[in-house]
Structure 1
Amino acid sequence: MQNRAMIYGYARVSTNGQDLAQQLAQLEAAGCAKIYREKISGASAERPQLKRAIGALDPGDVLMVTATDRLARNTRDLLNILHAVKEAGAGFRSIAEPMVDTTSQLAEVVIAVLGVAASYERQRIAERTSAGRAQAKARGVKFGRKSALTPHQQAEARRKLDAGDTQRSVAALFNVSQATISRLQG
């Protein structure tokens, strides 16, 4: 008895504000028998569900995504993933880019071009994010976590430190970590 080829889906969102529902619906409609889901940045090399999906592939199976940017954000990553899929004897398809089908002759060229486009878009996103951050800083927006101490408490803690109290005792007085108090002196 020969195993029947399976279609596996892989869906990924990179932020908490995004939802997998649309990707899942598309992959289910495309006939995916099992869908691996991940909520992690595509920029991260550590994607355990992607590793599981690739590990589940047998010869003749297909790994399907809704779009290549859900799989990888740069050319090297995309090509490494596609190499692993090929090594498993499986194929790869993208719903949004129907020409991306590794069973065709032209697939490797198309995939390389799409990988370059994904890498370019990732670079543009980083540039826009950096520019937005710079504009926000210029407007006085503060980034990072809120301080554990109010400005008044910080001034009081500094006075106590200047008077000779230890960082540990001042931290205990304000119910914060010693590291919080240490940063006030730096």
Structure 2
Amino acid sequence: MTTTLIGYARVSTNDQRLDLQLDALTAAGCVKTYADKVSGSTTSRSELDACLSYLREGDVLVVYKLDRLGRSLRHLLTIIDDLGARGIGFKSISDGIDTTTSTGRLMFSVMGSFAEFERSLIQERTNAGLKAARDRGKLGGRPTAVTPEIGERIVKLRGGGKNADYIAKELGIGRATVYRYLATQALVA
């Protein structure tokens, strides 16, 4: 089976140029290259999707730098795990990562382990903070816009013939909040 190198390049804005990445991918031996001009945080990248669909077992996806491929470390790990499961290798020119070698696979596994460890620590800290807040009597989430007193005023104003716009302005709350509260009271007419 012959190995085919397929490149992927990305810049974040139309003002930026792809030349550096495209030249490096060509020099690395890529026979086909896909390129996006879109922010890395964007979930829809048509050329990346086309590239991932094009790759076949035995191919190697090549990028100039890791941050050109994934929106986050988790996203990057997901893409590369998927490639590995399909028998597709991965190389990052600038970062020196090559999953077609045992050392490259080891390095990538270590990166994945650190990412998983970091997610676990964040989750533990978040849960501990939420528990401490609950122990102090604090509840999470947004404070309720309709206190019992405001609820009484909504019902009284609505019963007095005032419309939702008037009630919202009078009480300093949103019109949708008025409608939601009235719906819970079965007073929307």
If the length of structure 1 is used for normalisation, what is the TM-score? 0.55
The answer on whether the counterparts of 1:57 and 1:88 sit within 8 Å (CA) in structure 2 is no
Question: Is 1:102–2:102 an aligned residue pair?
Answer: no
| Correspondent of 1:16 among 1, 14, 17 | 14
| 1:7-35 C-alpha deviation (Å, 9 max, x unpaired) | 00000001122100110000000000100
> Equivalent residue of 2:98, what SS?
coil
Q: 1:115 to 1:25 in 2, by over 3 A?
A: farther
> Equivalent residue of 1:38, what SS?
strand
| Correspondent of 1:32 among 30, 39, 44 | 30
Question: 1:115 offset after TM fit, Å?
Answer: 6.9
Superposed, 1:118-129 pairs within 5 Å as none
Question: Is 1:4–2:9 an aligned residue pair?
Answer: no
Q: 4+ residue runs of structure 1 moved beyond 6 angstroms?
A: 113-116
Corresponding residue for residue 64 of structure 1: 62
Larger radius of gyration: 2
> Equivalent residue of 1:106, what SS?
helix
| 1:23-82 C-alpha deviation (Å, 9 max, x unpaired) | 000000000010001111111111111111111111111000000011113111101111
Q: 1:113 to 1:17 in 2, by over 3 A?
A: farther
RMSD of aligned Cα (Å): 2.1
| 1:121-148 C-alpha deviation (Å, 9 max, x unpaired) | xxxxxxxxxxxxxxxxxxxxxxxxxxxx
Aligned partners of 2:46 and 2:107: how far apart in 1? 26
Uncovered stretches (5+) of structure 1, i.e. residues with no partner: 117-186
**Count of aligned positions:** 113
If the length of structure 2 is used for normalisation, what is the TM-score? 0.55
The answer on whether the counterparts of 1:7 and 1:34 sit within 8 Å (CA) in structure 2 is yes
